[in-house]
DNA sequence: AAAAACCATGGTCCATTGTCAATGGTTTTG
DNA sequence: CAAAACCATTGACAATGGACCATGGTTTTT
Protein backbone atom coordinates (compact mmCIF):
# COMPACT_ATOMS: atom_id res chain seq x y z
CA UNK A 1 0.00 0.00 0.00
CA UNK A 2 1.11 3.57 -0.42
CA UNK A 3 1.99 5.97 2.32
CA UNK A 4 -1.35 7.76 2.30
CA UNK A 5 -3.32 4.63 2.99
CA UNK A 6 -0.85 3.53 5.61
CA UNK A 7 -1.11 6.90 7.33
CA UNK A 8 -4.86 6.71 7.26
CA UNK A 9 -5.05 3.18 8.54
CA UNK A 10 -2.46 3.54 11.25
CA UNK A 11 -3.32 7.03 12.37
CA UNK A 12 0.32 8.02 12.00
CA UNK A 13 1.21 11.05 9.89
CA UNK A 14 3.03 10.67 6.59
CA UNK A 15 5.95 12.61 7.95
CA UNK A 16 6.21 10.42 10.99
CA UNK A 17 6.07 7.32 8.83
CA UNK A 18 8.90 8.62 6.68
CA UNK A 19 10.83 9.43 9.80
CA UNK A 20 10.42 5.93 11.15
CA UNK A 21 11.39 4.54 7.80
CA UNK A 22 14.59 6.52 7.76
CA UNK A 23 15.33 5.13 11.19
CA UNK A 24 14.85 1.65 9.82
CA UNK A 25 11.76 0.81 11.84
CA UNK A 26 9.64 0.01 8.85
CA UNK A 27 10.60 -1.07 5.36
CA UNK A 28 9.09 -0.42 1.98
CA UNK A 29 9.82 -1.52 -1.54
CA UNK A 30 9.96 0.75 -4.50
CA UNK A 31 6.80 0.56 -6.47
CA UNK A 32 6.66 -2.32 -8.93
CA UNK A 33 5.54 0.08 -11.63
CA UNK A 34 8.54 1.78 -13.10
CA UNK A 35 6.68 4.95 -13.97
CA UNK A 36 6.70 6.42 -10.51
CA UNK A 37 8.83 6.59 -7.44
CA UNK A 38 6.12 5.66 -5.01
CA UNK A 39 6.95 3.30 -2.26
CA UNK A 40 5.10 0.19 -1.38
CA UNK A 41 4.45 -0.61 2.25
CA UNK A 42 3.56 -4.11 3.33
CA UNK A 43 0.39 -4.87 5.22
CA UNK A 44 2.49 -5.63 8.24
CA UNK A 45 3.54 -2.00 8.53
CA UNK A 46 0.15 -1.15 10.01
CA UNK A 47 0.86 -3.45 12.90
CA UNK A 48 4.42 -2.26 13.29
CA UNK A 49 3.21 1.31 13.54
CA UNK A 50 0.81 0.32 16.26
CA UNK A 51 3.62 -1.24 18.20
CA UNK A 52 5.69 1.88 17.71
CA UNK A 53 2.89 4.00 19.08
CA UNK A 54 2.51 1.86 22.14
CA UNK A 55 6.25 1.88 22.65
CA UNK A 56 6.43 5.63 22.44
CA UNK A 57 3.61 5.92 24.92
CA UNK A 58 5.56 3.56 27.15
CA UNK A 59 8.52 5.92 27.01
CA UNK A 60 10.73 3.68 24.90
CA UNK A 61 12.92 5.59 22.49
CA UNK A 62 13.20 4.92 18.81
CA UNK A 63 16.84 4.02 19.25
CA UNK A 64 15.78 1.25 21.60
CA UNK A 65 12.97 0.22 19.32
CA UNK A 66 15.40 -0.32 16.49
CA UNK A 67 17.14 -2.93 18.56
CA UNK A 68 13.94 -4.42 19.90
CA UNK A 69 12.16 -4.71 16.60
CA UNK A 70 15.12 -6.40 15.04
CA UNK A 71 14.94 -8.92 17.84
CA UNK A 72 11.25 -9.32 17.43
CA UNK A 73 11.74 -10.18 13.78
CA UNK A 74 14.73 -12.34 14.44
CA UNK A 75 13.05 -14.12 17.33
CA UNK A 76 12.44 -17.17 15.21
CA UNK A 77 15.83 -18.59 14.62
CA UNK A 78 18.33 -16.08 15.92
CA UNK A 79 20.88 -17.02 18.47
CA UNK A 80 22.61 -13.78 19.24
CA UNK A 81 22.03 -12.54 22.71
CA UNK A 82 19.72 -9.65 23.09
CA UNK A 83 18.03 -11.19 26.04
CA UNK A 84 19.68 -8.95 28.57
CA UNK A 85 18.63 -5.87 26.70
CA UNK A 86 15.11 -7.12 26.44
CA UNK A 87 14.95 -7.87 30.13
CA UNK A 88 16.26 -4.43 30.90
CA UNK A 89 13.60 -2.77 28.78
CA UNK A 90 10.88 -4.84 30.34
CA UNK A 91 12.03 -3.66 33.72
CA UNK A 92 12.07 -0.07 32.59
CA UNK A 93 8.57 -0.22 31.24
CA UNK A 94 7.33 -1.89 34.40
CA UNK A 95 8.88 0.87 36.45
CA UNK A 96 7.32 3.53 34.31
CA UNK A 97 3.94 1.93 34.64
CA UNK A 98 4.29 1.97 38.39
CA UNK A 99 5.32 5.60 38.42
CA UNK A 100 2.40 6.39 36.15
CA UNK A 101 0.04 4.68 38.52
CA UNK A 102 1.38 6.61 41.45
CA UNK A 103 0.93 9.82 39.56
CA UNK A 104 -2.54 8.79 38.52
CA UNK A 105 -3.39 8.35 42.17
CA UNK A 106 -2.12 11.86 42.88
CA UNK A 107 -4.29 13.22 40.12
CA UNK A 108 -7.35 11.41 41.38
CA UNK A 109 -6.79 12.68 44.88
CA UNK A 110 -6.52 16.17 43.55
CA UNK A 111 -9.74 15.74 41.68
CA UNK A 112 -11.51 14.55 44.79
CA UNK A 113 -10.12 17.44 46.80
CA UNK A 114 -11.25 19.85 44.14
CA UNK A 115 -14.74 18.46 44.21
CA UNK A 116 -14.92 18.69 47.97
CA UNK A 117 -13.70 22.27 47.93
CA UNK A 118 -16.45 23.10 45.49
CA UNK A 119 -18.55 21.44 48.16
CA UNK B 1 17.72 23.04 52.84
CA UNK B 2 20.18 23.92 50.11
CA UNK B 3 20.15 22.64 46.60
CA UNK B 4 22.85 20.04 47.14
CA UNK B 5 20.97 18.29 49.88
CA UNK B 6 17.74 18.47 47.94
CA UNK B 7 19.44 16.95 44.92
CA UNK B 8 20.87 14.19 47.03
CA UNK B 9 17.65 13.40 48.80
CA UNK B 10 15.42 13.53 45.76
CA UNK B 11 17.78 11.97 43.29
CA UNK B 12 17.21 14.89 40.92
CA UNK B 13 20.21 16.78 39.58
CA UNK B 14 20.94 20.34 40.61
CA UNK B 15 20.46 21.49 37.05
CA UNK B 16 17.11 19.82 36.79
CA UNK B 17 16.03 21.36 40.09
CA UNK B 18 16.98 24.80 38.89
CA UNK B 19 15.17 24.15 35.67
CA UNK B 20 12.00 23.16 37.51
CA UNK B 21 12.34 26.17 39.73
CA UNK B 22 12.52 28.48 36.75
CA UNK B 23 9.37 26.86 35.45
CA UNK B 24 7.71 27.60 38.76
CA UNK B 25 7.29 24.00 39.85
CA UNK B 26 9.14 24.42 43.08
CA UNK B 27 9.78 27.49 45.17
CA UNK B 28 12.68 28.55 47.35
CA UNK B 29 13.42 31.47 49.60
CA UNK B 30 16.63 33.40 49.60
CA UNK B 31 18.84 32.32 52.41
CA UNK B 32 18.06 33.97 55.74
CA UNK B 33 21.72 34.77 56.14
CA UNK B 34 22.55 37.91 54.24
CA UNK B 35 26.12 36.95 53.54
CA UNK B 36 25.37 34.58 50.72
CA UNK B 37 22.98 34.14 47.87
CA UNK B 38 22.12 30.56 48.58
CA UNK B 39 18.55 29.52 48.26
CA UNK B 40 16.54 27.73 50.82
CA UNK B 41 14.29 24.90 49.74
CA UNK B 42 11.45 23.74 51.95
CA UNK B 43 11.17 20.13 53.09
CA UNK B 44 8.15 19.77 50.89
CA UNK B 45 10.28 20.15 47.77
CA UNK B 46 11.50 16.60 48.16
CA UNK B 47 7.97 15.37 47.78
CA UNK B 48 7.21 17.70 44.91
CA UNK B 49 10.23 16.43 43.05
CA UNK B 50 9.03 12.89 43.49
CA UNK B 51 5.71 13.83 42.00
CA UNK B 52 7.46 15.53 39.12
CA UNK B 53 9.47 12.40 38.45
CA UNK B 54 6.41 10.24 38.42
CA UNK B 55 4.65 12.69 36.18
CA UNK B 56 7.48 12.77 33.70
CA UNK B 57 7.55 8.99 33.66
CA UNK B 58 3.83 9.12 32.99
CA UNK B 59 4.46 11.29 29.96
CA UNK B 60 3.00 14.46 31.42
CA UNK B 61 4.81 17.58 30.30
CA UNK B 62 6.13 20.25 32.57
CA UNK B 63 3.76 22.75 31.04
CA UNK B 64 0.89 20.56 32.16
CA UNK B 65 2.45 20.03 35.54
CA UNK B 66 2.56 23.74 36.15
CA UNK B 67 -1.19 23.83 35.83
CA UNK B 68 -1.72 20.63 37.77
CA UNK B 69 0.52 21.49 40.68
CA UNK B 70 -1.13 24.84 41.09
CA UNK B 71 -4.41 23.00 41.35
CA UNK B 72 -2.99 20.54 43.77
CA UNK B 73 -1.92 23.34 46.05
CA UNK B 74 -5.08 25.29 45.57
CA UNK B 75 -7.26 22.24 46.06
CA UNK B 76 -8.17 23.36 49.54
CA UNK B 77 -10.32 26.37 49.05
CA UNK B 78 -10.14 27.24 45.39
CA UNK B 79 -13.20 27.50 43.29
CA UNK B 80 -11.87 28.13 39.83
CA UNK B 81 -12.54 25.36 37.44
CA UNK B 82 -9.64 23.19 36.49
CA UNK B 83 -11.67 20.08 36.80
CA UNK B 84 -11.99 19.51 33.08
CA UNK B 85 -8.28 19.77 32.62
CA UNK B 86 -7.67 17.37 35.44
CA UNK B 87 -10.10 14.86 34.03
CA UNK B 88 -8.45 15.14 30.65
CA UNK B 89 -5.03 14.44 32.09
CA UNK B 90 -6.31 11.50 34.05
CA UNK B 91 -7.68 10.06 30.86
CA UNK B 92 -4.39 10.62 29.07
CA UNK B 93 -2.39 8.89 31.74
CA UNK B 94 -4.81 5.99 31.80
CA UNK B 95 -4.46 5.62 28.07
CA UNK B 96 -0.71 5.69 28.27
CA UNK B 97 -0.71 3.03 30.93
CA UNK B 98 -2.82 0.82 28.72
CA UNK B 99 -0.52 1.33 25.76
CA UNK B 100 2.44 0.60 27.99
CA UNK B 101 0.87 -2.62 29.11
CA UNK B 102 0.23 -3.67 25.55
CA UNK B 103 3.82 -2.96 24.69
CA UNK B 104 4.98 -4.81 27.76
CA UNK B 105 3.08 -7.82 26.53
CA UNK B 106 4.83 -7.56 23.17
CA UNK B 107 8.17 -7.45 24.91
CA UNK B 108 7.38 -10.44 27.02
CA UNK B 109 6.28 -12.42 24.01
CA UNK B 110 9.49 -11.53 22.27
CA UNK B 111 11.44 -12.69 25.26
CA UNK B 112 9.63 -16.01 25.31
CA UNK B 113 10.19 -16.47 21.60
CA UNK B 114 13.85 -15.68 22.04
CA UNK B 115 14.17 -18.26 24.76
CA UNK B 116 12.47 -20.90 22.68
CA UNK B 117 14.68 -20.16 19.71
CA UNK B 118 17.69 -20.62 21.94
CA UNK B 119 16.00 -23.95 22.56
C1' DA C 1 44.65 30.42 55.37
C1' DA C 2 44.52 27.47 51.34
C1' DA C 3 42.10 24.10 49.02
C1' DA C 4 38.12 21.83 48.14
C1' DA C 5 33.40 21.87 47.86
C1' DC C 6 29.35 24.36 47.28
C1' DC C 7 26.21 27.99 45.32
C1' DA C 8 23.89 31.51 41.78
C1' DT C 9 23.41 33.24 37.27
C1' DG C 10 23.60 33.25 32.50
C1' DG C 11 24.35 31.34 28.34
C1' DT C 12 25.31 27.67 25.19
C1' DC C 13 24.62 23.26 23.51
C1' DC C 14 22.42 18.65 22.86
C1' DA C 15 19.32 14.64 21.51
C1' DT C 16 14.79 13.33 20.50
C1' DT C 17 10.84 13.34 17.65
C1' DG C 18 8.92 14.90 14.69
C1' DT C 19 6.50 19.17 11.50
C1' DC C 20 6.55 22.23 7.63
C1' DA C 21 7.85 24.09 3.18
C1' DA C 22 9.81 23.78 -1.35
C1' DT C 23 10.51 21.44 -5.56
C1' DG C 24 9.36 18.38 -9.08
C1' DG C 25 7.27 14.44 -10.53
C1' DT C 26 2.67 10.98 -10.95
C1' DT C 27 -2.20 9.64 -10.59
C1' DT C 28 -6.76 10.28 -10.01
C1' DT C 29 -10.88 12.85 -10.65
C1' DG C 30 -14.26 15.92 -12.73
C1' DC D 1 -7.18 17.22 -20.46
C1' DA D 2 -6.86 20.19 -16.63
C1' DA D 3 -7.12 20.40 -11.72
C1' DA D 4 -6.71 18.27 -7.61
C1' DA D 5 -4.63 15.00 -4.93
C1' DC D 6 -0.84 12.21 -4.08
C1' DC D 7 4.18 10.95 -3.75
C1' DA D 8 9.57 11.45 -2.96
C1' DT D 9 13.43 14.05 -1.35
C1' DT D 10 15.73 17.57 0.90
C1' DG D 11 16.41 20.76 4.25
C1' DA D 12 15.03 24.10 7.64
C1' DC D 13 12.77 24.65 11.91
C1' DA D 14 10.66 23.65 16.57
C1' DA D 15 9.46 22.12 21.34
C1' DT D 16 10.90 19.49 25.25
C1' DG D 17 13.97 18.60 29.04
C1' DG D 18 17.53 19.11 30.58
C1' DA D 19 23.38 18.91 30.66
C1' DC D 20 27.44 21.59 30.56
C1' DC D 21 30.48 25.55 31.05
C1' DA D 22 32.22 29.93 32.67
C1' DT D 23 32.39 33.34 36.09
C1' DG D 24 32.48 34.95 40.60
C1' DG D 25 31.18 34.58 45.15
C1' DT D 26 30.64 31.60 49.92
C1' DT D 27 31.45 27.70 53.08
C1' DT D 28 33.62 23.94 54.74
C1' DT D 29 37.47 21.12 55.31
C1' DT D 30 42.23 20.24 56.04
For A75, the 3-state DSSP assignment is coil
pLDDT of A32 over the 90 cut = no
**N-term to C-term CA, chain A:** 56
Question: Do B6 and B60 share a domain, yes or no?
Answer: yes
Q: What is the pLDDT of residues B68-94, one digit of tens each?
A: 988 877 766 555 568 899 999 999 999
Q: What span, in angstroms and rounded, lies between the C-alpha atoms of B101 and B105?
A: 6
Are A88 and A75 in a shared domain?
no
Query: Are B117 and B66 members of one domain?
Result: no
Distance CA A46, CA A12 (A): 9
Q: Tell me the chain A residues in contact with residue B90 when contact means C-beta distances shorter than 8 Å.
A: 104, 107-108, 111
Give dist(CA B64, CA A105) in Å, integer: 16
Residues A88, A76 share a domain: no
Q: How far apart are CA B4 and CA B70, in angstroms?
A: 25
Nearest Cα of chain B lies from the Cα of A40 at a distance, in angstroms, of 26
Given a cut of 60, whether residue B110 has pLDDT beyond it is: yes
B31 vs A62, higher pLDDT: A62
- Do A25 and A49 fall into the same domain? yes
Q: Is A67 part of the contact surface with chain B (CB cutoff 8 Å)?
A: no
Q: Are residues B23 and B73 in the same domain?
A: yes
- Same domain? B70 vs B103: no
Whether residue B70 is found in the same domain as residue B90: no
If one counts the domains in chain A, the total is 2
| Angstrom distance (rounded) from CA A82 to CA A70 | 10
Residues B22 and B58 in one domain: yes
CB < 7 A from strand D, the residues are A 2-5, 7, 14, 18, 28, 37-39; B 13, 15-16, 19-20, 31, 33, 35-38, 56, 61-63
With CA atoms as reference, report the closest residue to B39 among B48, B29, B49.
Answer: B29
Q: At what angle do helices A83-118 and B44-57 cross, to 10 degrees?
A: 120
Predicted pLDDT at B79: 52
pLDDT of residue A117: 75
Which residues in chain B have Cβ-Cβ distances shorter than 8 Å to A104?
Answer: 58, 90, 93-94, 97
- Residue B44: domain span: 1-80
Closest Cβ–Cβ partner in B93, B99, B117 for A79: B117
**B96 near A CB under 8 A:** yes
Taking the C-alpha atoms of residue B107 and residue B110, their distance in angstroms, rounded to an integer, is 5
**Contact criterion met (CB below 8 Å) for A29 and A39:** yes
pLDDT tens figures, B41-67: 999 999 999 999 999 999 999 999 999
A52 and A87: one domain?
Answer: no
Residues A63 and A101 in one domain: no
The whole-chain average pLDDT of chain B stands at 91
Shortest distance between the Cα of A31 and any Cα of chain B, in A, equals: 31
Report the mean per-residue pLDDT for chain A: 91
Whether residues B61 and B99 fall in one domain: no
In this prediction, residue B81 carries a pLDDT of 67
Amino acid sequence: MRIGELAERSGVSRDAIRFYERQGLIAAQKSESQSNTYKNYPEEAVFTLEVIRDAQAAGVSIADLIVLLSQYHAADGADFDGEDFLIEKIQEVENRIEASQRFLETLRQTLRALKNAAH
